[in-house]
């Protein structure tokens, strides 16, 4: 009950806040903070918010999203007193290590920071993220796809505002598939193997490329299969189960594909791989929802030849997908302007204008329900995919993503050791089950050494 009451209070706060924002200038007299009966955290009042947003403030925003300056410009137009400095300090691990060191040093760090979902618990564990609940974040939970929202909460804390997501599907070259004698996108993984054999036999292509170092993609495939390799209770207990029988079953399928040379295993996102996409070395790509627009830029020469489909299924009666990638924007505890920082993270990702721009300009696949249902987004027909409504397809796929996936609180280490164990086994066309075992051992060793309690 208490919990419910508090949630309601929070919801009221944020609705009031939104109202206050839209009716710019109108000040509300309600002080929802005083209605808060159960909470210990101090809710931010509208007056405080108004004041913060109308005080000249400098914010720093670290992100590697290209051209995000455009969304930030919109924000600065909306709130002329807030000045935002956008910095790209590197991407992926480089970005995270910069955030870590700046946060450790206590100075020179950003106020708002891009975080992939998979790294949120890692940063929460080290206490670097501000709980956004007092700022009204819990109230916007219902605006987002449920499985995405689950990725940004820990217990009753909200740690980031979702930006984009990557439910997985299957992009493929229709022309090569036809040439190979595959007329329908494979519905099951067994069909996929048959199709892969046809592609190898009848064309010079591979049905897809399974990059050994693409940890997030491999985990996405486990996610689809309902495997739960990780668990974290938010404090000292982690569950590590990457070599479960279920995980090994999925990887046995891929070991068979790899060892029979039915898929290629080139590293991805380098020059060779881009060429492989352009030149038809890969007839398809099992990838995330951010990929369709990205691909249309990266493999421009092949426009019109691609189509999109859901991932092949293990059980067609229960269609499922996993997620690969996608980011949120979090506020660091070291910020001196938490209210403005929260508003920046929230506004650029939820106001209709910047959020829609993300989908068209930055290739992002949205997480806000309002954008996912916006006709501008859903009904878009893409020439690159022969006029297919790719967004609608992925919006449907997004509803099939399992909501209970969790990450470890040390994913930086987890991914680098993934490359050295499982990734190396893929690259060597070796024993993938042994690769999983080696990864399990490395993770458990590290977790114990770092003082966690490990559950099998």
Partner 1 sequence: MTNAIQRKQHLVAYGFILPFFAVFATMFIAPLAYSGYLSFFAHKLVGGVKFVAFGNYVRAFQDPAFLFGLGRTALILLVQVPIMLGLALFFALALDSGRARGSKAVRLLIFLPFAVPGVVAVLMWGYIYGQDFGLTGQITRALGLPPTDFLSDQLILFSIMNIVTWAFVGYNMIILYAALKSIPSELHEAAEIDGASQWRLAWSVKIPMIWPAIFLTIIFSVIGSFQIFNEPKLLVEIAPTAITQGFTPNFYAFNVAFVNQDINYAAAIAFLLGFVIMIVSYVVQLSMHKREVQS
Partner 2 sequence: MTAQLTPVTAPPRTPSKSDKRRKAASRGKRRSNLLTLVMWLSVLYFIVPLIWLFMSATKDNSDLFTTFGLWFGHDFNLFANIRAVFAYQDGIYARWALNTGIYAGVAAVGATALATMAGYAFAKYKFPGDKLLFAITLGAIMIPLTALAIPTYLLFSSAHLTDTPWAVILPSLVSPFGVFLMRVYAADAVPDSLMQAARVDGAGEYRIFWTVSLRLLAPGMVTVMLFTFVATWNNYFLPLIMLNSGRLLPLTVGLAQQQATSAAGGGAQALFSTVIAGAFLSIIPLVIVFLYLQRFWQTGLATGGVKG
Chain residues in the site for partner 1 (CB under 8 A): 93, 97, 100-101, 104, 125-126, 211-213, 236, 267, 269-272, 275-276, 279, 281, 409-410, 412-413, 416-417, 419-420, 423-424, 426-428, 449-452
- 101 binding partner 2? (CB under 8 A): yes
CA distance 420 to 97: 19
Greatest C-alpha distance within the chain: 73
Q: Is 270 in the site for partner 2 (CB under 8 A)?
A: yes
CA distance 284 to 177: 9
Q: Which one, 166 or 312, has the nearer CB to partner 2?
A: 166
Please, which of residues 38-77 interact with partner 2 by CB under 8 A?
62, 64-66
Q: Which does 168 bind (CB under 5 to 8 A by kind): partner 2, partner 1, none?
A: none
User: 133 or 362, CB closer to partner 2?
Assistant: 362
Distances (CA, A) of 211 to 168, 189, 219: 15, 18, 12
Please provide residue 219's backbone torsions phi and psi, each rounded to the nearest 5 degrees.
-65, -35
Q: Which of partner 1, partner 2, none lies near 325, with the C-beta cut-off 5 to 8 A by kind? A: partner 2
User: Which of partner 2, partner 1, none binds 66 (CB below 5-8 Å, type-dependent)?
Assistant: partner 2
Return the number of the residue (50 or 268) whose C-beta is nearest partner 2. Answer: 268
Residue position matching structure tokens 């977790």: 447
Question: What is the β-pairing status of strands 112-116 and 237-240?
Answer: unpaired
- The angle at the Cα of 439, spanning 286 to 154, to the nearest 5 degrees, equals 75
Candidates 27-35, 256-264, 275-283, 314-322; binding stretch for partner 2 (CB under 8 A): 275-283
Distance between start and end Cα atoms, the chain: 34
Interacting residue with partner 2 among 170, 363, 391, 406 (CB under 8 A):
363
Is residue 306 a contact point for partner 2 (CB under 8 A)? no
Q: Answer with the entry of partner 1, partner 2, none that 89 interacts with (C-beta below 5 to 8 A by kind).
A: partner 2
Answer yes or no: are the C-beta atoms of 392 and 99 closer than 8 Å. no
Tokens for 210? 């399974």
Yes or no: say if 388 and 410 are a contact pair by the CB < 8 Å rule: no
Minimum separation from the CB atom of position 452 to partner 1 (A)? 6
Nearest CA-CA partner of 85 in 94, 77, 76, 93: 76
Q: Where would I find the beta strands (DSSP E) of 279-389?
A: 284-288, 306-310, 327-331
Give the CA-trace dihedral at 267, 270, 274, 276, to 10 degrees.
-40
Query: With respect to partner 2, which residue has the nearer C-beta, 297 or 375?
Result: 297
Residue 251, sorted as left (phi over 0), alpha (psi -120 to 50) or beta, turns out to be: alpha
412 binds, among partner 2, partner 1, none (CB under 5 to 8 A by kind): partner 1
Across 223-359, the runs of DSSP E, i.e. the strands, are 230-232, 237-240, 284-288, 306-310, 327-331
Distances (CA, A) of 455 to 124, 230, 404, 414, 444: 20, 10, 17, 16, 9
- Give which of partner 1, partner 2, none residue 247 binds (C-beta under 5 to 8 Å, depending on kind): none
- Binding residues with partner 2: total (CB under 8 A): 41
CA–CA dist 456, 441 (Å, integer): 11
Per partner kind, with CB cut-offs from 5 to 8 A, the member of partner 1, partner 2, none near residue 19 is none
Instruction: Give the closest residue to 230 by CA, choosing from 331, 119, 114.
Output: 119
- Over the window 218 to 257, marking each residue x when it contacts partner 2 by CB under 8 A and - when it does not, the resulting string is ----------------------------------------
d(CA 74, CA 56): 17
CB-nearer residue toward partner 2: 122 or 163: 163
- 8 A C-beta contact, residue 222 and residue 250: yes
Find which of partner 2, partner 1, none residue 413 binds, CB within 5 to 8 Å per kind.
partner 1
Q: In angstroms, what is the minimal distance from the CB of 84 to partner 1?
A: 26
- Is residue 126 near partner 2 by the rule CB under 8 A? no
Q: How far is the CB of 415 from partner 1 (least distance, A)?
A: 9
291 lies in the site for partner 2, by CB under 8 A: yes
Residue 294 binds to partner 2 (criterion: CB under 8 A): yes
Our CB check for partner 1 shows the closer of 58 and 236 to be 236
Examine residue 286 and tell whether it contacts partner 2 (CB under 8 A).
no
Give me 11's structure tokens: 């919801």
How far is Cα of residue 71 from the mean position of the Cα atoms in its chain?
19
Pairwise CA distance, residues 65 & 87, whole Å: 10
| 98 makes contact with partner 2 (CB under 8 A) | yes
Q: Which does 62 bind (CB under 5 to 8 A by kind): partner 2, partner 1, none?
A: partner 2
Among 136, 284, 326, 435, binds partner 2 (CB under 8 A): 326
Q: Which of residues 152-181 bind partner 2 (CB under 8 A)?
A: 164, 166
Binding site for partner 2 (CB under 8 A): 62, 64-66, 87-92, 94, 98, 101-102, 105-108, 164, 166, 268-271, 274-275, 278-279, 288, 290-291, 294, 297-298, 301, 325-326, 362-365
């Amino acid at each position: 009950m208490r919990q419910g009451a508090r949630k309601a209070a929070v919801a009221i706060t944020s609705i009031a806040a939104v109202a206050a924002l839209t009716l710019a200038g109108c000040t509300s007299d309600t002080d929802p903070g005083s209605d808060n009966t159960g909470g210990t955290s101090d809710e931010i009042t509208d007056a405080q918010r108004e004041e913060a947003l109308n005080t000249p403030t400098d914010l720093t925003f670290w992100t590697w999203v290209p051209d995000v300056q455009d969304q930030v410009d919109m924000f600065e137009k909306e709130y002329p007193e807030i000045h935002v400095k956008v910095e790209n300090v590197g991407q992926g691990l480089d970005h995270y290590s910069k955030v870590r060191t700046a946060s450790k040093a206590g100075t020179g760090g950003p106020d708002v920071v891009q975080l992939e979902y998979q790294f949120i618990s890692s940063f929460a564990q080290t206490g670097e993220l501000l709980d956004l609940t007092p700022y009204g974040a819990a109230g916007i939970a219902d605006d987002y796809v449920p499985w995405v929202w689950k990725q940004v909460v820990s217990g009753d804390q909200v740690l980031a505002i979702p930006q984009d997501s990557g439910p997985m599907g299957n992009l493929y070259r229709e022309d090569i598939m036809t040439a190979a004698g595959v007329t329908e996108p494979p519905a099951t993984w067994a069909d996929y193997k048959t199709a892969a054999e046809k592609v190898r036999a009848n064309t010079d292509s591979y049905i897809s490329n399974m990059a050994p170092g693409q940890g997030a993609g491999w985990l996405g495939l486990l996610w689809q299969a309902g495997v739960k390799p990780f668990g974290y209770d938010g404090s000292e207990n982690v569950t590590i189960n990457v070599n479960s029988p279920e995980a090994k079953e999925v990887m046995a399928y891929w070991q068979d594909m790899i060892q029979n040379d039915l898929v290629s295993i080139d590293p991805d996102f380098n020059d060779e791989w881009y060429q492989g996409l352009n030149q038809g070395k890969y007839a398809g790509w099992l990838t995330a929802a951010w990929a369709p627009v990205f691909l249309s830029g990266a493999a421009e020469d092949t426009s019109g030849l691609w189509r999109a489909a859901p991932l092949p299924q293990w059980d067609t009666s229960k269609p499922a997908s996993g997620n690969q990638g996608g980011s949120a924007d979090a506020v660091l505890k070291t910020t001196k302007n938490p209210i403005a920082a929260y508003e920046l993270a929230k506004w650029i990702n939820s106001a209709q204008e910047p959020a829609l721009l993300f989908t068209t300009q930055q290739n992002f696949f949205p997480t806000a329900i309002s954008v996912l249902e916006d006709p501008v987004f859903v009904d878009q027909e893409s020439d690159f995919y022969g006029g297919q409504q790719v967004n609608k397809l992925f919006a449907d796929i997004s509803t099939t993503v399992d909501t209970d996936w969790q990450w470890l609180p040390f994913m930086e280490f987890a991914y680098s050791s993934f490359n050295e164990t499982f990734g190396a086994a893929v690259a060597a066309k070796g024993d993938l089950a042994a690769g999983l075992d080696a990864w399990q051992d490395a993770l458990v060793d590290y977790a114990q050494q770092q003082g966690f309690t490990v559950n099998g």
